[in-house]
Each structure stands twice: as structure tokens, then as C-alpha cells.
Structure 1
Amino acid sequence: MKPVAQIFRPRTQALLALLLGLQLSLPVAAVSLDDLLNAAKLGDAGAVTQLVSQGMDTNSTDQNGNSLLILAAREDQPKVVEALVKQRGIKLNARNAAGDSALMLASLKGHAEVVQLLLAAGAEFDHEGWNPLLYAAFEGRLPVVELLLAKGANPNVKAPNRTTPLMFAARNGHEEVVVRLLKAGVDLDWKNDQNETAESWAIKNRNTDIAGLIQASRKARAAGSGK
């Protein structure tokens, strides 16, 4: 009869080999994902395309739920965005842990070229809750506001606290955006949860020129309607 050590040695060696193989494979997978995420952020469209073609998930995310598309859009990498939107199965409207999509973050940052690419690819833009137009108006991103309105975005969309794009732009002193929204025929007298209007917010924040524009627009509408 063979000693116990000799009986179990082959099984032990096989188990050790399996564990060693797993240990060796984990860093490779981790590095590959890091490489893919970094390529998206840094604008290396070639590397992104190559890694995806080698089997990496087009919708891979970082620990905060940012997909490759969200990262590329946030960092203003239009070449990567252009490459990703062509990938089969790409999730154009994926949200990160904070609830932001690629188009929302591109709008917030004012990355007009990226916004244009995402809109052309069919990204959702006129949804409930925080959305691209609200973000763009809040930050005064006029070129993005223009793109979204031209696409058909609702100029009177409401944030969760019932604040409109006009109200955000008026409060934050973004006169050009206010002018564009006034041309779109926005509601001048809407009140949010704080009982503020665009005009009252502009006055409170000493944006008197903007308050004047809103007052002038109200008078012009009244004159035009015969009131």
C-alpha cells in the first residue's frame, strides 16, 4: 500500500497549479480593464477599438458605474465617442452611480462636438428629471443649448425641484442662454419649489440685466397678444 503522502501528492499538486493559474490570470484581467478605461478617458480610440475587438465589454464600467462612453464624453474625447457609438450593443443611455448619462455629462461640461455625436447616434435627451438641457443651462453652455433646442428639447423642462432652464440661467448670470431660451418662448412666470421665478432669482442674485430682459420679453408678449 502506498504511503498517504504519495496518494494525495498528485491531487495537491494539481490544486496548487490551478490556484497559481488563477493568481496569474487575475492581474492580467485587471490590467486589461484599466487599460480600456484609461484609453477611453485619454482619447485613444484605436486602443479602445482594439481591446473591444479582442473581447472586452463595450459597456465596461469603472467602480463608480461610469461606462467607457460616459468617461469619453465627460473627458471630451470625440474620437472615442465616435468609435463607441458604432459598436454593436453600446448602451447610449447608461447611467453612472450618480444617475448621469454620457449626454448629460457632455452637456454639463459644454462638450458640443460630443453632444452632437451622441444626439446623432440617438441618445435620449428629453427625459424626466435632471437632463441635458437643464445641465447646459445651469452652466451657461450656449452651443449645447442650441444643439438640444434644435433637436427638439422641451425648453420648459422641470428639474426635480421644478426649476426650469430659464431659471437656472437667470440665477447664474448666463445672459446669452437666457436670450436663447426667451426666443424659444419659455414660460416666464413659472415658480419652483422655492416659490422663485426666473425674474425673482435674477434680481436676488443681482443679475439686473437679465431681469430686465425677462421683463421686456413679458411686455412684448403682452403687446403681441393685444393685452
Structure 2
Amino acid sequence: MGKDQDLLHAVKTEDLLTAQRLLQRPRPGKTKLLGTAKRVNVNFQDTDGLSPLHHAALSGNKELISLLLEAQATVDIKDQNGMRPLHYAAWQGKTEPMKMLLKAGSSVNIQSDEGQIPLHLSAQHGHYDGSEMLLQHQSNPCISDTAGKTPLDLACEFGRVGVVQLLLSSNVCAAMIEPKPSNPNGVSPLHLAAKNGHIDVIRLLIQAGIDINRQSESGTALHQAALCGKTEVVRLLLDSGISAGVRNTLCQTALDIVNQFTATQASREIKQLLRDASAAMQVRALTEYCNNYDLTSLNIKTGDIITVLEQHSDGRWKGCIHDNRTGNDRVGYFPSSMVEVISKRPGSRGSESSPHGSPTLGQQGGSSEGCLGSPEAPRRYEAAAAVKSPSGCPPQEQRSFDRKAEADVKSEAVVTWLTECQLQFYTTHLLTAGYDLDTIGHMTPEDLTAIGVTKPGHRKKMTSEISKLPSGDWLPDHKPVRTHSEPPPLS
């Protein structure tokens, strides 16, 4: 080997004495003999483009770094991948070597061929002290690599909680969690953390104010967590107000995605969480329905309980039937005229507006027709089944049960009237807006438009049917189940 290669080998093996000897300058006044070998090249590079300074930074040997810098080694010499010695020191989390290279003039924001600055590598590998040092030397945490990821993205993806906390405490926190101007609909740090199940990182991002409902092509962070089977992440995101009704570019909700899973315990739990979050209504099949010519249809039997996922103004609803025996779900479309409403889940996440101001189910990428609920609507509609009050309950509780039973009767009246008018697909529009038969009788065309009856033909027909309603109270033919507050029947 020549002296250049000898120096490279000495630094790689951390042979300080050999490196010193090779780099030693001739003594002043010493006579040079003709044919004496030339001075060793301190910037000699191997086939990968690695110089002695690269190897010294990688090993973190301060004596060798100092020796090479004194010998005028190029501090920002790059290898075949555009990586400088500071990149390697940051990768290893070697703070003292980093400090020496920075003091020698290494650029803190210089990018490799993959667009990474030293902070990318330090953050990805969870080096808190190294990341803090780079930030103190004005490293820019908003720089993206060629994959579009910032140092915060990498720290979140790999679950580096301490580094995430450090980056979020910087004065450019808001800029890091906002969508990137070059890719406003791309993957966010929340997507990356959710995909890999990093609960503590997700909590930090939510506390920092990240848009929990930000979408990428694959959907929200909820889609990612559901797809990767991260049950606790799904639960945390739902509890934090993420919208379960958001659709990705393939028109899939998170529940649609998880329905493609195998029947694992994790997928069953996630399905149940998403059903609870998405469903604003449950219905019971009044008759059998089967359409073998439509692959998207849901075959139902009389008495089947269906969780309604979507409503459409043409009377075609999308629902899910869960088989408790097998743990599987069947999802498809069915005519709304073949079911009766049995319950709306008050307080379900899908029917409330989240603290982040996200759209609710039915408001995703469509008109207001077919919405399962409106966040502004009063929650007057409970269940259409008769309710018994428990014996011995306090008067205040008793009154609440009485009011609930009365509301059930009024809701059932609305369902019956709309079915007779063949307008049953507007049942939820009226009930979630708080209307009963008395108040429907006073509705104007403008009121109908406000709740989502926007088709002129439907609005005209409903206005006509409203005009036929009697002026007095309207009740169904049968009485509700007697509550304990009523006197017993006379013998």
C-alpha cells in the first residue's frame, strides 16, 4: 500500500501512532534526498468516497479528528452519497467530534444526495444531545429530504420521544407540524407515528396542536393505525377527536380498510372501536333482502340488526352486520324501506364535532343529503323502542325516563309518517334536527332546505305531505309500554 492508503487504514483501525507518523512534517533544515516520496494526501478517498476524516468522525476518535484537521483535512469533503464527516458524527451521536467539526467550519445545514442534513440522522437515531447541539448551531429542522421527510418526521416515525419533545419545543414548532407548501396533502408526523404505534409521540403531537384530521393519499392517521393493526393508537386517536368518517383517495373509511384484515384479535377490537365511532344509527330488518346481481349489496334476513354507515338520498343505505359467532363483518348496500330505526347512539363520536373542528360522518366529500348527523342539531332523538323505567328510581331519574318514552313515541310517529309518504330516507334529517310531527307541520320549504332536503322534487312532495298533516297532536295507533309513573289500570 502507498502512504495515502496507509493513512486511511491507520485511521480506520484507530492507530493514532501510525497516523501521526504518516502526517508528521519533515524537520526544518533537513536535506531532502532526490526521489523522496511526496507528502501523504490527507484527503485521500476509498472507492466509497470515504476519507480519513469520514472514518474518524464515524468512530468518534477525537485525537484522530484533531490530527487530521491540523493537517488541513477538508472538513466538508463528501463521499459517494454526498455525506460529509459531520453527517457521520451526527449519525453516531458523537457530540464532542460534532463540536470539533462545527468549530472547524462544517456546514450544519448542508444536504447529502438524499437531501438529509446532519439533524435528520441525529433525530432518526434518537440522539438528544447531538440534536440539541445542532439546533444550537442554527440547524434548520424544517428542511425536507428527498423523501419529503423532516427531522421531526423521522423522529416520529422511529418513536424517538425525547427528540420529538426537543423539536416541538423549538421556536419553529408550528412550521414543522403544518403541511409542507410543496406537498400540502402529504404524510404528516402523526401518520408516521400512528403507523408504527408510537403512543407517546402521538400524545406530544396532539398537545402541540397538529391537525389530527390531516389527510394524505392513504387517508388520515386513523387509516394508518387501522391498516397496521395498532389498536391502542386507534383508541387514542378516536378519544382525541379524529373523524372516523373520512375517506381516502380510494373512497375508503378506516372501517372499510380494517374489514380487509384477517380475523385476528387486534382487527376485531379495531372494528368494534370504529363501528362505535362511526355509527350514529342502528336499524332492524323488517323483511329479507337479497340481490345476487349486485356485488355491493348486503343480504339481510328479517330481524337482522344493521349498523348504518352511510345514507343516500335515493334510499340506498350502506350498513354493516356483525356476526358475534365468527367475529366477521358483512358490509354492503340495502334499501332503507326494508328496515326500521331502533336506536341512535347519543354521544357517539361519529355524530359529534371533534375539538379539532373536523367534519363529521356524512360530511366527508359529499352533499349534506345522507348525513347521519349534524353537530349543531339538538340531540332529541334517542331510541324508537319502548322504554321501561327501573323500579325505585329517584323522581328526577323517573322524569328523565318519562321524557325519553315520550320522545320515543314522537320519533316513531315521524318514522311511520315518512314511510307512508315514501320519504323514509329523510328520517335522520328530521330526527337529528329535533323535529316531531307537531313541529314538522309548521315547516317551510326553507326549513326543509336547511336540514338537507335540497332536491326540488323531494322538497315539493314533502311540502305537499306536510300540508295534509292534522293540526292537533299526532300519535301512533298503539300506546307505549307503561312506565312506573303511570297509575295501574283499573280492575
Give secondary structure in 1 for the equivalent of 2:232: helix
Asked whether the equivalents of residues 126 and 132 of structure 1 are also in contact (C-alpha less than 8 Å), the reply is no
Question: What is the CA deviation profile of residues 71-101 of structure 1, one whole-angstrom value per residue up to 9, with x for unaligned ones?
Answer: 101122111001111113x211111122111
Alignment root-mean-square deviation, CA: 2.4
Q: Which has the higher strand share?
A: 2
Provide the C-alpha distance between the structure 2 equivalents of 1:178 and 1:140, rounded to a whole number of angstroms.
Answer: 9
Are 1:223 and 2:346 counterparts?
yes
Question: What is the CA deviation profile of residues 190-210 of structure 1, one whole-angstrom value per residue up to 9, with x for unaligned ones?
Answer: 111112111111121131210
Provide the C-alpha distance between the structure 1 equivalents of 2:126 and 2:243, rounded to a whole number of angstroms.
Answer: 32
Are 1:204 and 2:260 counterparts?
yes
Matching residue of 1:42: 92
Are 1:141 and 2:198 counterparts?
yes
Are 1:175 and 2:231 counterparts?
yes
Question: What is the CA deviation profile of residues 88-127 of structure 1, one whole-angstrom value per residue up to 9, with x for unaligned ones?
Answer: 3x21111112211100011111111111111111341131
Provide the C-alpha distance between the structure 2 equivalents of 1:226 and 1:72, rounded to a whole number of angstroms.
Answer: 55
How many residues matched?
Answer: 205
Provide the C-alpha distance between the structure 2 equivalents of 1:26 and 1:66, rounded to a whole number of angstroms.
Answer: 23
How many angstroms does 1:26 deviate by? 4.8
- Higher RCO (CA < 8 A, seq sep 6+): 1
Are 1:151 and 2:208 counterparts?
yes
Asked whether the equivalents of residues 37 and 61 of structure 1 are also in contact (C-alpha less than 8 Å), the reply is no
Provide the C-alpha distance between the structure 1 equivalents of 2:88 and 2:95, rounded to a whole number of angstroms.
Answer: 11
Normalised to the residue count of structure 1, the TM-score between the two structures is 0.82
User: How do residues 84-163 of structure 1 correspond to structure 2 at under 5 angstroms?
Assistant: 84-88=134-138, 90-121=139-170, 122-123=172-173, 124-127=176-179, 128=184, 129-159=186-216, 161=217, 163=219
How many angstroms does 1:31 deviate by? 7.5
Question: What is the CA deviation profile of residues 49-68 of structure 1, one whole-angstrom value per residue up to 9, with x for unaligned ones?
Answer: 22112211111233322100
The match for 1:73 among 103, 123, 127 is 123
Provide the C-alpha distance between the structure 1 equivalents of 2:155 and 2:380, rounded to a whole number of angstroms.
Answer: 42
Give secondary structure in 1 for the equivalent of 2:131: helix
Normalised to the residue count of structure 2, the TM-score between the two structures is 0.39
Provide the C-alpha distance between the structure 2 equivalents of 1:222 and 1:185, rounded to a whole number of angstroms.
Answer: 16
Whichever residue aligns with residue 151 of structure 2, its letter is A
Provide the C-alpha distance between the structure 2 equivalents of 1:31 and 1:203, rounded to a whole number of angstroms.
Answer: 49
Provide the C-alpha distance between the structure 2 equivalents of 1:162 and 1:24, rounded to a whole number of angstroms.
Answer: 52
Give secondary structure in 1 for the equivalent of 2:149: coil
Q: Which has the higher helix share?
A: 1
Judge which range, 132-141 or 118-127, deviates more. Answer: 118-127
Provide the C-alpha distance between the structure 2 equivalents of 1:130 and 1:39, rounded to a whole number of angstroms.
Answer: 29
How many angstroms does 1:34 deviate by? 4.0
User: How do residues 50-61 of structure 1 correspond to structure 2 at under 5 angstroms?
Assistant: 50-61=100-111
Asked whether the equivalents of residues 178 and 210 of structure 1 are also in contact (C-alpha less than 8 Å), the reply is yes
How many angstroms does 1:226 deviate by? 4.5
Answer with 1 or 2: which has the greater Rg.
2
Provide the C-alpha distance between the structure 1 equivalents of 2:113 and 2:233, rounded to a whole number of angstroms.
Answer: 35
Asked whether the equivalents of residues 93 and 102 of structure 1 are also in contact (C-alpha less than 8 Å), the reply is yes
Provide the C-alpha distance between the structure 2 equivalents of 1:38 and 1:226, rounded to a whole number of angstroms.
Answer: 63
Provide the C-alpha distance between the structure 2 equivalents of 1:214 and 1:226, rounded to a whole number of angstroms.
Answer: 24
Judge which range, 26-35 or 121-130, deviates more. Answer: 26-35
Give secondary structure in 2 for the equivalent of 1:107: helix
Matching residue of 2:242: 186
Whichever residue aligns with residue 181 of structure 1, its letter is L
Give secondary structure in 2 for the equivalent of 1:194: coil
Whichever residue aligns with residue 243 of structure 2, its letter is D
